[in-house]
Each structure stands twice: as structure tokens, then as C-alpha cells.
Amino acid sequence: MKPLAHVGKALAHDSAALHVSGAAVYIDDIAEIEGTLHVAPGFAKEGAKGKILSINLAAAQAAEGVVAVLTAQDIPGKNDCSPVAGDDPIFANGKIEFHGQVIFAVVAKTRDAARRAARLAVIEIEKQKPDVTVADALASNGDLLPPYAFTSKGVVAALKNSTHRHAGQLKIGGQEQFYLEGQVAYAIPQEKGGMFVHSSTQHPTEIQHCVAAMLGIDDAQVICQCRRMGGAFGGKESQAAQWAAIAALAAHITGHPVKCRLDRDDDMMLTGKRHDFEATYEVGLDKSLRIAAVDVLLAARCGYSADLSAAICDRTMFHADNAYFYPQYKIATRRLKTNTISNTAFRGFGGPQGMVFAEAMMESIAIQHGCDALELRKKNLYTKQRNTTPYGQKIDEHLVGKIMATLEKTSSYQKRRKDNAKFNAKSSILKKGLALTPVKFGISFTNTMMNQAGALVHVYGDGSVHLNHGGTEMGQGLYQKVAQVVAEVFGIGVDKITITATRTDKVPNTSPTAASSGSDLNGMAARNAAMAIKARMAEVAGRQHGVHPSKVTFWDGQVSAKTKSSSFAALATACKGARVSLSATGYYSTPAIHWDRATGRGHPFFYFAYGASCSEVLVDTLTGEMKVSRVDILHDVGHSLNPAIDIGQIEGGFVQGMGWVTTEELVFDAEGRLRTHAPSTYKIPCASDVPEDFRVALYESKGNKADTIYRSKAVGEPPLMLPISVWCAVMNAIASLKPGTVPKLDAPATPEAIMRAVKSLGVK
Amino acid sequence: MMALEFLRRGKIVRMESFAPDTMLLDYLRLTEKSRGTKEGCNEGDCGACTVVLGEVQNGAMNYQAVNACILLLGQIHGKEIITVEDLAEGEKLHPVQQAMVDLHASQCGFCTPGFVMSLFALGHGKKSVTRADVTTAIAGNLCRCTGYKPIIDAGVKACQNLRDRFAGDAEQSIALLNGISSETMLVGDEQNFFVAPSSAESLAERAAQHPQARVVSGATDVGLWITKQFKAQKQIIFTGRARGFAEIAWHEAALHIGAGATYTAAQDGLTKLAPDIGAVMHRLGCVQVRNSGTIGGNIANGSPIGDMPPMLIALGSILVLRNGETERKMPLESFFIDYGKQDRKSGELVWRIEVPLLKQNQVFKAYKITKRFDQDISAVLGAFLFTMDKDRIADVRIAYGGMAATPKRATKTETILRGKTLQEAMSITLNDYAPIADMRASAEYRREIAAALLKKAVMELQGAQNTRVLA
């Protein structure tokens, strides 16, 4: 087989040169059309739950520069921006269910005027006591969605009969996406009541649909475009819709183009985040410390509406095993309603919470039994014999054990454990901790329907190529990866391919760019489109040179048949002359997957992505301060489409996940108000939090066992769970204070959480 | 002079009118329509809006990174403003930009212009840079995609002996900037004005004449009143052009710091005075904030969570205030009366701070407790000045931030500690404060941590090793 020319190359991000020179255009950078207005959302200053008693917008209406004030009554169609359940009003009508819920919006000549005026509204709420925490919701029995569980028949007996039993609890914090570019949309009215919307969204099709339904017009009358997002991480999957809808409504009513860009504080208060959970579990082990049974309840704070919580909590269940075989199990979830912003997608989509539970359980068992946590982990991995997941899918690719064994060596795990024990014996305040944890992450949307994608490819008469597909670019390098695929098919340079903005009028009915599926789905769809054109071109070349089309090769900008060859451009010209279409759509749907939620059985994932990381931390047991001192990662991406982009995803995902388990803490007060709604109070990692000693390697893969695009593997979400090793290392460090006792450590392990854990040991 | 003047892309821009509270970022994005500079948070905490200000210092160009979102347009009077669009020469990227591309240091790209500008300033400020220099330079720039590693690598690569066209253009820039008058700049009328007095004396005069006007130094706090609280500022007296207001001078028994000295300017001197001040200042805000914010501003705004006041109080600093031509002195702690209330009369300026030098038998310790090490506001800041008589604590001054409505001394504990040996001091509990809970910490944790910091200080005096995570 010929080596690949473009796929597998460490090419820079398609917009790298634009990024660094400030020339990459984000939605707020688009030169405004004359007459453009700005819209800002408004909400009640006080109150998280209750009837809206009165809305007085007179002062806002009268403020300088104000053109219009909009409420639910102004919506011609459907007052909803929810992705699934129809329960997210664009403007609250009659009642509010969380603090900050949008009730109205102000349209003004400048953004500043709109924001100022929005503060002038006087809104009275008949305030009721909100349910804010998981505990509040459990006390009110507030299930937003029905509980759901995977339960094996023998779980109760197996627990009872196990040699060792261990019970535990874990609070798992939520997380703000903190994309650097806040939510933004720019709506431009079109002829005959249509609407064109620039939206910073992972899901243009949903924006299109939401805007059309809101205006009461056909989907076909709305176009949504997204060239790039300044980060998204799941936070622009369903959460972009409300702002696009408000901009479109304002544009519809005023007849002017209207932009809606949220201020950072509003963005953090008014858009959903990663679900926080409380896990309560019991685990039974045999005498060799192999797990016999696990019984866990994962209770999720979903917020006020369903949003994507059903699928998210399902994914938590799908990952509550991480990489371990549970012979008997009850994996139960509660999906709780709280009077807080509706929690939503965030890289990992519920998976991380399931996995951090599994690893916390492992770390706790190891501490309680005084054994090495890595030995315990290895002992409980899936194997060829012990290979069935709690949802019935069989694991057929056993890489994670090999990855862990390699990493154990390359990170000098054993030696460092010994060195740390010596250090900890001598050092009274500072303690070191080390942990090596695996990642196994299921790839596919668990809603099987969503595993489809489309693409549109044109070859022009000069041999240049226009590429479009349903995937969106949020920084993950999808556009470049897909361009490399198309370049490979045509045997031309990536520089000959013009990558164009994702638009609903080019590729319709798309799925969100989510679930790590972007390159798997869109890469295949674009390949299919390119292959269709290539077949037609090969036929023309074959006719020209008197060979069978299968003998025509496309390589290095040349198209060759026998001894003859011409440039790709010349063939394109010839095709046009021969009246052969050089445009094609491509389509792909993932094979082999199925899922029956009613029985809890199926094969929801096309394959799994694997990795492992080893982290070392230094903990101050007097103050709770903590520093990550070294990290080693080995991660499997199959045959990489672009190793530079993949390593970027791994490093970036790791640091983002490290923030989730360390410094990032969402604080709501008893009134349900988010107190951490700006980077001054909500602390994502910064440069100095990244260890200087940070070693990242790609696993030397023989290629994905599943038939994916060039046998690559998805890489978007899986690395986020690698830093669970950081949290476990903190446990390991604290436990050195009193061997045999499990510290009560929550996630995130903030200095305060670490101090609570130290105190829980009762040592002075 | 009656116009704002600054250097932009090789030309002097002259503005005879502007709203006094116009922010630089809005000027760039909305008026000039230069949209390479991004708005990430509009409060100076993410660095996406980082731009570089150039200024003539000792006959050479000096470049500093600042956050444009919380910088007033008027503050750039007499300076050069450089933004991300200005770096490349046609198709040829600037070395910092090229290193960012080569090392895959951008993903979504939204934070990237800010990083480029922070690194540009670093490269111009230092010939040879270490990894630590780079992480310091970009501590105020948040990236959510890359995990920073490639950005740090790009910084280390590009900032060694950085050469670019700006070195060649410096002579012309200096000439143009020197052409801007150093006289007082005043734009506006009686109701709306932005004035930048040219000397400390004329600053004091203006402040006394217009006691209702807002005195602004770095705007790292006032900027947020404008961008987040919509508190219009119609009359602004800017201290940044006042000669003699930012002077730092060593006296026999004290370091005198003019109120207008930025953290950056004061950092070396204070670090020399006591290394722990330097260690805390390294984590106070970020480079952009330290380049704008001032020691005087941190005192004048009276915040209970400012990092400088507790340290300066523990050191026994004297605050000098000035009203017109009259000076008034007081121990710094007396200035802070209650939450939001300081002993500052109408028209009076925070003028100077006099920090006593440490005596042979004195040891100063300071600790800053935060969720994140860099650019985070303290949950608790503890500062301790011990005067030792061999193993005995002859005297001690303790001050905490974050524990009360003002920066406050632990006078009860001080009394108990006086005369005790270090061994005895280990069992003394801190009992001076009733802190509150907020998003940074619970009341309980604050109490515990404050006590733990005292314990840690005593342990360090006893010679304990391995006591700090950040060695």
C-alpha cells in the first residue's frame, strides 16, 4: 500500500496564521452592515423561583438609544430554544425557575445602550425558596427525569457474599465551559421574511430550526452559518440557540440586522455548565481484591429543565465502570431538578463524572487495604474473558492494560512511589502523591440517530477544491483534518483546498459537532463526496488514455494512467469540457451500533478510545495548597490524522480536566445565585499550573480495529479524563498522613477541600 | 494642552474630544475598527484584550503589556499603542507569531492575539528569557484550548534575543513621542473632563479643586466600575503623567514609594526590602495588571482583600496624604476605618507610603492563599513582622487581609506573642477575627488557614524546611 501523503502529517491549524495576526474573523469581528442594532437580555435582579408578579419596562424603553423592548408576547412562533424537551422558553413567561432566567431583551443602537437599559427594568417575583443543591433536590424528591439504572440480577447477593466491603461518598463539582469567545449571534433579515444568522454554535441545524420555529417560518427560510468559534467545549451545543433566537426576533421586529453578544458575567450566569453529582456507593471485593459487585447511585443536578440531561446522565452510567469489569452491578442515576441554570454538554458529556467515581472508588479501596492503587487497577481491568460492560457491549480491543504497563515503566512509577514514601516520612508539612489512572471512553452518540454526517465538495475547472461539511470548527482542528482527508483522496496539496464556513444551506440536517465525532463522521462524509468526484474524473482520464478507470492514480497533483499523466487541474478542465459533474455531496452513517434503552442492552459505541496518565502532586497539609509537579501521558489515537492537532487535544484536554478536579469551583448561594460568574472568581488553570515536566506521547497504534476514517480514533473528549490521576494523587498524598484511613476528599480538590480531607483524618 | 495625543502605526493621533470614560478596547474595536484585539471578560482577568503600550524611558522605548478592556483611552496619552495587527510585515509573520504557528500554539485562536502581545512585550523587555519568565509574562492570559504548553514553548523560543522591525523604528518613535508636550493634558469642559496633570503638585491642586472628580491611576479597579457596574465617570483626574508622583527612593530608615508607582515599578525595591513581599507581588494580579495598577491605588480604594495593605501594615508603614499643599501622616492601619470607609478627606490624595527597612533582628513573612496561584484574589493573606531576641519574640506585628471588613492587625495575638519563645508560640491560637464566607472560602476555612499561616511562620523561624509548595 502506498504511504499516505497528507493524512498523518502534523500540519498547522488551518487558521493558525490568521489567529496569530488577529486576522481570523469571529462573529463580533464581522464588519457590521449599516443600521445594525444590538440586543441585550434582561432578567430579574432578585429571585430564582416564582411567579412573575409584574414587569415594568418603561425606564428601559425610555432610555437613550433604545429602539425596542421585547418579551414573550412579541414572539410570533414558538417560545422555545430547548434541544429536546420543549421546556426552555426564550423569554420566561409567567414564572421564573432560576436566577437570571431571561424575561425580556432590549434592542438599542449600541451594545452599551442595550446593556445599560436592560438594567433599568423593574421586575417583581413572588419569591419561593429555591432548590439549589443536589441535597435540596433529593429532599424535595425533585426528579426532573425518571431515574434509570443498569442492574444485574445477582448484585445484592454478590455484595453480601463478598470478602471485603467498602462504602463511600463523593461530591463531584460542575464546571463552566469558559470558552474565550462568549455567546454571540448576528441576525440579518432576508427577503420574504427569511433570516440569515451568524451563530457561534456547534449545531447550526438546531439554530436554523429554533429560529424558524420561533418566527413561525419554514426551516428552508433560515440559514445559519458558523465559520469558527472561539472555543465551545459543549457549551455551544444547545446553549447558543437562545441568543440566536433573540437576535433573530429583534431583527424580525425592527427590520434591521441585530447582534447579540453576551457580556462574560451574563454568559456565565445564563448558560448551562457541566452537571455536578453526588455519588454514593458500596463495593464488594473477593479476597484477592477483585471487584465482585458495585452498587452506586449517581445523583445529578440537572438544573431547571431537561436540556441534554437524559443523554448526559446515560453517558455517566456508560462510564461508571471506566476500564474495570464489574461482575455484578447496580449503576443507578437520579436526574434532579434544581432552580439553577439548566446544566448541559461539556467535553465528556457526563462520562467524566462516572469515571471520577470509579477512580475515587479504586483509590479508596487501595488506601483502605494498604495496597498499591495501580496493582488494584490492573487487577480489575477488562480482559478477554471478563469483557462484558454493564450495558451488554463486549470489549474487543484490550489496549488499556498495555498502555498502563508502558506508562508504568516510562514514568518510573514504582521508583517514584518509593521515593515519595521516603520524602513523606521526613517532610511534616509537604506531602507528595502519585497516581496512574486509565481512560476508556466510548465513541458514538448514544442516540444512534445522531451518528450521521454530510459533506459538499466542488472541484472547479482550474483544479481548485471547495470543501464544506456539517462539522463546525471550534479550535479542535476539524477543518484541517477533513481537508487532509480530501487532499489524500485527490492526491493534491491541502493548499489547493479552500475550507469554507459551515452553513445549513450547503449541508442540511446535520448533527452537532460533539461527542468527539467530528472527524469520524465528517471525515468519512467528505471522503465519500471526494471519492464520488474522483471516480468521475478517473473515468474521463481513463477514456483519454485508454485504460480502465481503476488504473488511474491521483498523486502529488498529477493524474496518471500507464505512462501518461496530466495535472489534476488539467483533468478538471477536461472534465468540465466533457460535461462531467465536478460537484458531489457525501454522506456517512456509523455502522454496527445499536442501543435499546428499555432493556439497557446494546452496542452503543462503535469503538473505545484509550489512554492513561501518571500524575505527581505536592500538597501542603497545613494550608491545602497543591501543585502538580509532573505528568506523563500515553494516549491512543489510532492512526492519527494529524499528530500535532491530536497532541494539542490531549494536552489541552488534560489541563481543562485538571481545572475541573482542582481549582474550578462553582459557588451558588442559598438564594440560587451563582457567585462565581467571572474569571475573577472562577479559576480555570493558567500557564503556571501546567507542570514544567509534562510528557505526552501517542500510543504506537496498529490502527483502530473499527473501520474509521484512515483507522484514526476520536480525540476530542477522551483526554479530559486523564487528569483524574491528579485528583487521585492528591488522595494518595493526603492518605500518607494516616495510612489505612480514606480521606474525605471532594472534587474539585481546592485548597479548602484538601484541608477538609486532611481534617477528616483526625490527625494533628 | 487640549488634546489627547498618542502614537499609532507611525503617526501621532490627536483627539480633541472623547467621553472621559471611554475604554481603550472600545476605542480600538468600535472607533478604529481594529478587531484583532478581543474582548474575553471585560474585567482584566483573561488577557484576550492585551495590547502593548510603548513609552520613552531613559531615551529608549520601553514596552509594557496592558489589558485594553479596563484601561481608559485617556491613559495612553503620550504613549505608543501597538496591537496584534501591527506585528507582521506584510506576509511575513513576527518571530513571536511564527513560533506560535510552528509550535501549534493556537487552537480556537480567540485568546491568541493577547498571548502574542504579552510575549512581544516580554521579548522586548528581556534579552534572554527562561520558562519561568514566560509563565510570568502570560499569567494574565487565559487559554482554554491548548493547555499552554505550546504557548510556553513558543515564548521561550521566540523571545530569546528577539529581533524585529520595532528596534529599527525606535528612533522615529522616540522622536514622535518626545514631540508630544509633557504639559498637563485636559480634554473636555467643566462637566465632563479627562485631565492628566503634568506634575505631582498640579495633580494635588486639581484634586483639591475638584474633590468630586474621580482620581484614577491604573484603572484596574475603576475600569470595572465602568464596564460592569455602568457607573459613568464624567470627571477624571489621571495621575499617570504627574512627574514626581511615582518616585521610589531609598532613605536611611525607609523606602519611600510615591502613590503613583505601579506594582511593576515598586516590585524590585520591595523585593529587596523583604523577599516575601516580592513573592506575593509576583502573584498579585498579573503582568498586565501590575503594569497599570499602583501601590497608592491599592491603598486608596480601601479593599479588604487588597494584597499590599496587610503586608505594608505588618511592616509598620506610614501613609502620607496630601490635600492641596498640606501633608498629613498616619500609620497605614489607621487609614482603614471600616468597609468602604477610609480616613481620606475630600480633595485629599494618597501621596506616598514610607516602608521602614528591616532591622538586623527582624524577619518578615507573608503568605497568600488562593484557589489558583497566579492572578487570583486572596482568600486570606497573612503578613508577619517578627523582631527576635534570640529565640524569643521581642515584638511582632501581624496583619491579615480577607479576615475582616478592612485589612486588619491581629493586636490580641500580637500581645500574647510578645515575649514568648518560638516553642511557646507554636501553641498560641489566633483569636482576632470573625471572617465571613464568600465564593473564595468559608468562614471556617479562613479562620483555620489564618491560624495555620501563623503556625507556618513560626515553624519557618524555627528553621523548618520544605514548608512551601511554591519553593
- Does B243 map to a domain? no
Contact assignment for A228 to B108 by CB distance below 8 Å: yes
C-alpha cell at A655: 489541563
CA of A748: which chain B residue's CA is closest? B371
Question: Are A427 and B147 a contacting pair at CB < 8 A?
Answer: no
Helix (H/G/I), strand (E/B), else coil: A623: coil
Note whether B374 contacts A29, CB cutoff 8 Å: no
Q: State the CATH number of the domain containing residue B159.
A: 1.10.150.120
Same domain for B233 and B352:
no
Question: Are residues B224 and B173 part of one domain?
Answer: yes
- Is B145 in Cβ contact with A29 (below 8 Å)? no
Name the band, by pLDDT with cuts 50, 70 and 90, for residue B457: very high
Inspect the interface and report whether the beta carbons of B469 and A626 lie closer than 8 Å.
yes
Beta strands at A66-71 and B326-331: parallel, antiparallel or unpaired: unpaired
In SS3 terms, A55-88 reads as EECHHHHHCCCEEEEEEHHHCCCCCCCCCCCCCC
Residues B102 and B132 reside in one and the same domain: yes
**Closest by Cα among A695, A604, A688, A620 to A411:** A695
Contact A219, A208 (CB under 8 A): yes
Cα angle: A188, vertex A189, A192; to 5 degrees? 155
Average pLDDT over residues B286-302: 97
Q: Which of B187, B219, B238 is the last residue of a domain?
A: B238
Whether A264 sits inside 8 A of B43 (CB atoms) is: yes
Q: Which residues of A touch B369 (CB under 8 A)?
A: 623, 625, 751
Closest CA to B384 of B404, B405, B402, B401: B401
The verdict on B471 touching A (C-beta cutoff 8 Å) is no
How far separated are the first and last CA of chain B, in Å rounded?
50
Q: pTM here?
A: 0.98
User: Which of A21, A112, A752 comes nearest B441 by C-beta?
Assistant: A752
Q: Tell me which residue in A19, A179, A429 faces B466 most closely, judged by beta carbons.
A: A429
Whether residue B392 is found in the same domain as residue B344: no
Q: Please check whether residues B390 and B275 belong to one and the same domain.
A: no
Tell me whether the CATH fold assigned to A16-23+452-589 matches the one assigned to A276-446+597-760. yes
| Contacts of B212-219 spanning 24+ positions with Cβ under 8 A | B213/B237, B215/B239, B215/B300, B215/B349, B216/B72, B216/B75, B217/B259, B217/B260, B217/B293, B217/B294, B217/B296, B217/B297, B218/B262, B218/B289, B218/B292, B218/B293, B218/B294, B218/B297, B219/B70, B219/B71, B219/B72, B219/B75, B219/B292
Which residues 239-298 in chain B show a CB within 8 A of chain A? none
Closest residue on chain B to A177 (Cα): B144
| Range(s) of the domain holding residue B15 | 4-85+168-238
Alpha carbon of A218: minimum distance to chain B alpha carbons (Å): 33
Q: Measured between CB atoms, does B462 come within 8 Å of chain A?
A: no
Report the 10 Å Cβ neighbour count for A206: 24
pLDDT of A563 reads 87
d(CA A51, CA A48): 10
**Strand duo A693-698 + A626-635: pairing:** parallel
- pLDDT single digits (tens) A405-434: 999 999 999 999 999 999 999 999 999 999
How many whole angstroms separate alpha carbon A762 and alpha carbon A746?
A: 17
**Counted domains in chain B:** 4
> What's the 3-state SS for A674-701?
ECCCCCCCCCCCCHHHCCCEEEEEECCC
Question: Among the three residues B238, B270, B297, which one is the final residue of a domain in this structure?
Answer: B238
Which residues in chain A are closer than 8 Å to B440, comparing Cβ atoms? 681
Reading the block at residue B351, the C-alpha cell is 501621596
Complex ipTM tops 0.90: yes
Read off φ and ψ for residue A612, nearest 5 degrees.
Answer: -155, 155
**Which parts of chain A have pLDDT scores under 50?**
none
Dmax (CA) of chain A: 88
Check whether residue B77 and residue B205 sit in a common domain. Answer: yes
Contacts with B240 (C-beta within 8 Å, 6 or more apart), sequence order: B75, B196, B217, B218, B260
Which amino acid, residue B56? V
User: Is residue A581 within 8 Å of A460, Cβ to Cβ?
Assistant: no
> CATH assignment of A32-128+177-270, given 3.90.226.30, 1.25.40.10, 3.30.750.24, 3.30.365.10?
3.30.365.10
The answer to whether A13 contacts B84, with C-beta atoms less than 8 Å apart, is no
Q: Cis before residue A438, ω within 30 degrees of 0?
A: no
Cell of B404: 475582616
B270 plus B351 within the same structural domain: yes
Q: Do B254 and B396 fall within a single domain?
A: no
Residue A662, C-alpha cell as written in the block: 482542582
Query: Per the residue annotation, which of A64, A124, A717, A752 is the catalytic one?
Result: A717
Measured CA to CA, the distance from residue A563 to residue A595 in angstroms comes to 52
Give the closest of A20, A230, A687 to B139, CB-based. Answer: A687
Query: Cβ distance A630 to A693 under 8 Å?
Result: yes
CB contact under 8 A, A29 and B35: yes
Residue of B nearest to A265 (CA): B41
Chain position carrying cell 474487543 = A396
What is the DSSP pairing of strand B60-67 with strand B50-57? antiparallel
Q: Are A228 and A201 in contact (CB under 8 A)?
A: no
Rounded to a whole number of angstroms, the distance from the CA of B157 to the nearest CA of chain A is 15
What pLDDT, on the 0 to 100 scale, is given for residue A3? 82
pLDDT value for A1: 55
Closest CA to A571 of A605, A514, A616, A533: A533
Residue for grid cell 461482575: A327
List the domain boundaries for chain A: 16-23+452-589, 32-128+177-270, 276-446+597-760
CATH number of the domain encompassing residue B307: 3.30.465.10
Q: What CATH fold (topology level) applies to the domain A16-23+452-589?
A: Aldehyde Oxidoreductase; domain 4 (3.30.365)
- Please tell me which residue of chain A has the smallest CA distance to B133: A688
Burial class of residue A550 (count of CB atoms within 10 Å of its CB; 0-12, 13-18, 19+): exposed
What's residue A509's pLDDT?
96
Cell of B415: 500581645
Measured distance CA(A431)–CA(A541) in Å, rounded: 70
Indicate whether B159 and B228 sit together in one domain: no
Active site residue A408: no
The sign of the torsion formed by the CA atoms of A114, A119, A123, A126 equals positive
Regarding whether B93 and B70 lie in a shared domain, the answer is no
**Residue written as cell 438564594?**
A671
Closest by alpha carbon to B222, among B206, B205, B240, B208? Answer: B240
Q: What is the CATH number of the domain that holds B394?
A: 3.30.390.50
Q: Are residues B158 and B305 in the same domain?
A: no
- What's the pLDDT tens digit per position in B32-50? 999 999 999 999 999 999 9
Listed residues B163, B194, B218: the one ending a domain: B163
Do residues B256 and B336 both lie within one domain?
yes
- Tell me the pLDDT tens digit for each residue of B357-409: 999 999 999 999 999 999 999 999 999 999 999 999 999 999 999 999 999 99
Residues 6+ apart with CB under 8 A from A180: A230, A231, B38, B40, B46, B48, B108, B110, B111, B142, B143, B144
Look up cell 521579548; give the residue.
B123
Dmax over Cα atoms in chain B, in whole Å?
Answer: 70
CATH number of A276-446+597-760: 3.30.365.10
Q: What is the least distance, in Å, from the CA of A169 to any CA of chain B? A: 21
Do residues B154 and B99 touch, judged by C-beta distance below 8 A?
yes
Distance CA A347, CA A720 (A): 7
A328-337 sheet: strands from edge to edge? A143-151, A328-337, A291-303, A277-285, A164-172
Chain B partners of A667 at a C-beta cutoff of 8 Å? 439
Q: Do B106 and A116 touch (CB under 8 A)?
A: no
Task: List C-alpha distances in Å: B383 to A88, B280, B368, B380, B470.
Answer: 50, 10, 9, 10, 17
